[in-house]
Amino acid sequence: MITLKSSHEIELMRRAGKITAAARALAGEMVKPGVTTQEIDHAVEHFIRKQGAV
């Protein structure tokens, strides 16, 4: 069964995609020798929460 999305649902998915792309970019910029994955995790989580996506 195919479920059609409303305009509102599509806009929410677009916003989520943009937040995800920005979070991935942030993580990519942080990958350097000496930076732990825990530090990256915390920064990305903080970013996502700041966007109101949680």
Interval 1-54: pLDDT, tens: 999 999 999 999 999 999 999 999 999 999 999 999 999 999 999 999 999 998
Q: Render the burial of 16-49: b for 16+ CB within 10 Å, e for the rest.
A: eeebeeebeeeeeeeeeeeeeeeebeebbeebbe
User: Is the overall model pTM greater than 0.95, yes or no?
Assistant: no
The tokens describing 22, both together, are 């920005």
Q: What is the predicted pLDDT for the residue at 14?
A: 98
Q: What is the predicted pLDDT for the residue at 54?
A: 85
User: Cα torsion at 36, 53, 24, 14 (round to 10°)?
Assistant: 170
The tokens describing 51, both together, are 């966007």
